[in-house]
Structure 1
Amino acid sequence: MKNEIHQRELLATQLEIQQATMQQIGRELHDNIGQKLTLVSLYVQQMLYENKVPGANERIDQVSQIINQSLQDLRSLSKTLTDDNINQKEIVTLIQEEVNNTNSFKKCSINFEYNFNQLDLGFVHKNMLLRITQEFIQNSLKHSNCKNIYITLNTSEDILWDLTIRDDGTGFDTTHITSNGIGLTNMKNRAEIIGAQFSIDSQKNKGTTLHIIFKKQS
């Protein structure tokens, strides 16, 4: 038992170190390479404005477009790596943003409910809850042909958090989790990192339900 707890603590620490490393890489990309690309873009725009090289406008414009696209990609990558949202926002806000983004596509209706005003969670728990929620939503949209997804996140006297996600899609055979290619093993592994209880139930043409519980430590 002690060995299992130790292993979970090690995995959680590794996740925090990995996130800190990605944040540092993201900041370097933004502050160093991003600034250089911005400077090059300004030079190219100045060349285009001055028009000192007859017939070169089209080439310069193409270079400018490539640089601007590279800047957009770089900013997107930097934002993904730093991911300060997880540290700065409540878990309810993070999940609700994901729900709103998905609902805006009008491919599936997602309902999110919770029974608390504030839940004090560290980065590891928030990251795990958010990533599993994202994975379940994406899997349902890609594979289940569902019309609705229902998410509940609750807390109680003995339970720090209790996450349930359910869709009304086609369902699948849960005995082939490792071979169905929809990322369930990844979700299960995330839960195991912090010692949460994980269960999945799916029935043909009735949908899939994911349930994860993390009890308060005594």
Structure 2
Amino acid sequence: MGQTEYLLVIILFNVFLVAFIVAVISFVVQYKNKKKESVNQLQQQHVLHQKELLATQIEIQTQTMQHIGREIHDNVGQKLTLASLYTQQLVFENEALPINDKITGIGELINDALSELRHLSKSLTDDHIDTNDISILLKEEFAKIKVLKKYKLNLTVNFESVLLNYQTKSLLLRIVQEFIQNSIKHASCKTISTSLVKNDNQLTLTLSDDGKGFNTEKLISKGIGLINIKKRIALIGGSYHMLSKEGNGTKLTIEISI
């Protein structure tokens, strides 16, 4: 074999070696990309499944509450109304005053029960969350806490209305409720503040208190208190940032696309 042929063999060998190495690297890169894509697809499917499951649960709960409300109105309410009419009729037919007083008292109790049942029936059958803007729902929630007269409450909303679906409004409201409850129960705070800001296609919800604060990593890693908030934020496709230090209160910022 001549020197030229020898050099040609070496060159061909190196070319095949380089081609083999490139093919292996390409295969490894493609494999990793496909694996990453597969993991992303599984994560997206999981999130989608969770959203569908939540939507189904909300629908079932709504239907159940509406059924209970109709039963209260149509069945229990009608029977109590009939009982109230019977007692009123007895008052007119009976001339014994002591008995009349007792019958009148029974009638008043029945009427009170009817009033409470009508209120309950309306609250169950009326789709309050779906028909009201998130700003109104938050104002109503803060009004409930103000009745306690124990906390200073600050609520800021920079818009009159924003178009959100039932699920998003419901989850945002639950997040606010849970944050407030955690602040009241665990933070020993005096002030609770909430701001809801609309900026183009983004909605930013900020919740804060001036309580004793906590170690966020320690608390979240144990799944205590804030795990439900974290899950709800994920279900509406939002991002969040939690800031808290012992003695310096807690601040939660949530951003979602609208």
Quote the Cα distance in structure 2 between the aligned partners of 1:105 and 1:144: 16
Say whether residues 1:31 and 2:74 are aligned partners: yes
Q: Higher Cα Rg: structure 1 or 2?
A: 2
Matches within 5 A, 1:1-218: 1=41, 2-14=44-56, 15-51=58-94, 56-57=99-100, 60=103, 63-64=106-107, 66-159=109-202, 161-174=203-216, 175-177=218-220, 180=224, 183-216=225-258
Question: Higher relative CO (CA 8 A, sep ≥ 6), structure 1 or 2?
Answer: 1
Secondary structure in 2 aligned to 1:94? helix
CA-CA distance at 1:48 after TM superposition = 4.0
Quote the Cα distance in structure 2 between the aligned partners of 1:48 and 1:193: 59
Matched pairs, number? 213
Quote the Cα distance in structure 2 between the aligned partners of 1:65 and 1:142: 38
Quote the Cα distance in structure 2 between the aligned partners of 1:158 and 1:38: 51
With the length of structure 2 as denominator, give the TM-score of the two structures: 0.69
CA contact under 8 A between 1:153 and 1:163: conserved in structure 2?
yes
CA-CA distance at 1:98 after TM superposition = 1.7
Secondary structure in 2 aligned to 1:155? strand
Quote the Cα distance in structure 1 between the aligned partners of 2:105 and 2:241: 53
Q: Aligned-residue CA RMSD in angstroms?
A: 2.8
Quote the Cα distance in structure 1 between the aligned partners of 2:234 and 2:102: 54
More helix by share: 2
CA-CA distance at 1:40 after TM superposition = 1.5
Q: In the superposition, relative to structure 1, how do residues 205 and 60 fare at CA in structure 2: closer, same or farther (>3 Å)?
A: farther
CA-CA distance at 1:121 after TM superposition = 0.8
Q: In the superposition, relative to structure 1, how do residues 77 and 143 fare at CA in structure 2: closer, same or farther (>3 Å)?
A: farther
CA-CA distance at 1:12 after TM superposition = 4.0
Structure 2: which amino acid aligns with 1:71? L
Structure 1: which amino acid aligns with 2:255? I
Seq. identity, %: 43
